[in-house]
Amino acid sequence: MNNRTSMGLAQFLVSSRLEEMPDVLIHEAKRSILNGFATAFAGCNDAVMDRLITTLSEFSGRPLASITGRKERFDVLTAAFLNAVSTNVFDFDDTHPNTIIHPTAPVSPALFALGEYQTFSGRSLLEAFILGVEVECRIGNAISPGHYKRGWHITSSCGVFGAAAAAGKILGLDAERMVWALGNASAQASGLVETLGSMAKSVGVGNAARNGLAAALMANDGVEGPNRPLEGERGFLKVTSESPNFAAVVENLGNHWELSKNTYKPYPCGVVLNPVIEACLEVAKTPGFDVSQVRNVTISGYSLLRERADRPMVETGREAQVSAQHAAAVCLLYKSASLNEFSDEAVHRKDVLWLRKKVDVIVDEAAVAGAAHVVVQCADDTILEAKVTHARGDAERPLSDKDIEDKFRDLIVYGRSGLDPEPVIDAIWRLDQIEDVSDIMVLARR
């Protein structure tokens, strides 16, 4: 079967139908897409978007396609690029836990851009989205954890296949052309972990959406690829991994769905900080709590928490996203853990600097993974404490639909598009009843 990985996957993609997919999966697709629009609204006016738009405006074709939260129009490929950038720029989008792929950013923007070029329904979009996510996450599974560890930015390097598969499904490619689409995507698979923390990360993620969409359009026009782009001796899996698990790409297709494992972040931080944030918010909300009286704060948890997040000194918002000291300080000071509290500006505030210094992170060998215990000692020797075992956003405590809606409402304000969140939220929940998906972009653009 190792020499039929690409063709086996392509045949599954061609034959799969939304009618055969479980309702709970279709609902998860809506949750992912809603969460993706939320983070795109948050990122739509970020500096990287302005700068990339400056460059790409000069070369864009017919302005058919819209940008979430903005008024400019671009050609379909450029719009796919830019909406993937805004969705992922803060790493506040969704996470497929096994691979750390952010699955929505490369796939959903490619599909919505294609929807402003060809007319298709919300049901077709949901079908293609579910399949695209399946492709990128299964390819990711086949090469995890070595691929990311080696230095591949897996959202980009695998995302291009997801976008190609999703767009290929909308275009109605047959199995041979679907393999070509995967092959054209393989020629464009890129993205390095070294770029994380810089704007160049967004260039990789934008390309995953743009180039995946282009790969499918090219295959549709007869641009032929190799027969075994994934499993070939010099194909994607062997070149970018030491010991690919070919079977992971095709086993149990149609019975098991990767999208069902998708998770959504409640806070714009590394997930190890989630229980720290919740414990600190609990302490901060104690009646009579006076932050000016805090003498010291001790955070204890499993060893990974200290390994990843013991960072008393931070200089940028991005570093703050993985600093337990910073997270504790802002939660106790502002009773909030939104993008505002993890901005470049926030890390240099005097009160934050003052409180960050009082925070220690220690390892509790007995603590379970994902748990944190926060103890705050005040000037009058009162002790306030809180323990969190499973934070929101964990697989054990997934965000509710209402949580994702509230995240959407917060982020649309943060992103300053001035748009009303309610019609977009409402339309995404009704996606399976919408005849023309470009209706959504009409609501989401300025």
Q: Considering all CA atoms of the chain, what is the largest pairwise distance in Å, rounded to the nearest integer?
A: 76
Residue 387 DSSP one-character state: E
- Side-chain half-sphere CA neighbours of 278 within 13 A: 20
Residue 331 DSSP one-character state: H
Question: Closest approach of Cβ 216 to its own copies, in Å?
Answer: 10
Residue 203, interface with its own copies (CB under 8 A)?
Answer: yes
Residue 233, interface with its own copies (CB under 8 A)?
Answer: yes
The encoded tokens of residue 169 equal: 């499904």
Question: Closest approach of Cβ 79 to its own copies, in Å?
Answer: 10
Applying the rule CB under 8 A, the residues between 64 and 103 that interact with its own copies are: 75-78
The smaller minimum CB distance to its own copies, of residues 97 and 197, is found at 197
Q: What is the DSSP string of 3-30?
A: GGHHHHHHHHHHH--GGGS-HHHHHHHH
Site string (17-56) toward its own copies, x via CB under 8 A: ------------------------------xx--xx-xx-
The backbone torsions φ and ψ at residue 370, rounded to the nearest 5 degrees and listed phi first, read 90, 0
Q: Which of 5, 87, 156, 262 binds its own copies (CB under 8 A)?
A: 156
Question: Closest approach of Cβ 193 to its own copies, in Å?
Answer: 4
Question: Closest approach of Cβ 411 to its own copies, in Å?
Answer: 23
Which 3-state string (H, E, C) describes 205-245? HHHHHHHHHHHHHHHHCCCCCCCCCCCCCCCHHHHCCCCCC
Residue 225, interface with its own copies (CB under 8 A)?
Answer: yes
Q: Can you list the alpha helix ranges (DSSP code H) found in 264-323?
A: 274-284, 303-309, 317-320
- Burial of 274 (C-beta count, 10 Å sphere; 0-12/13-18/19+): buried
Residue 348, interface with its own copies (CB under 8 A)?
Answer: no
Q: Which of 16, 66, 99, 207 binds its own copies (CB under 8 A)?
A: 207
The smaller minimum CB distance to its own copies, of residues 157 and 417, is found at 157
Question: Closest approach of Cβ 282 to its own copies, in Å?
Answer: 36
Applying the rule CB under 8 A, the residues between 239 and 258 that interact with its own copies are: 239
Residue 92 DSSP one-character state: -
- Rounded Cα distance, 2 and 160, in Å: 22
Q: Which stretch binds its own copies (CB under 8 A): 217-225, 269-277, 289-297, 361-369?
A: 217-225
Q: Which of 228, 306, 392, 407 binds its own copies (CB under 8 A)?
A: 228
- Rounded Cα distance, 399 and 137, in Å: 21
Residue 327, interface with its own copies (CB under 8 A)?
Answer: no
Q: Which residues bind its own copies (CB under 8 A)?
A: 47-48, 51-52, 54-55, 58-62, 75-78, 117, 150-153, 156, 180, 183-184, 186-195, 197-204, 207, 211, 214-215, 217-218, 220-226, 228-229, 232-236, 238-239
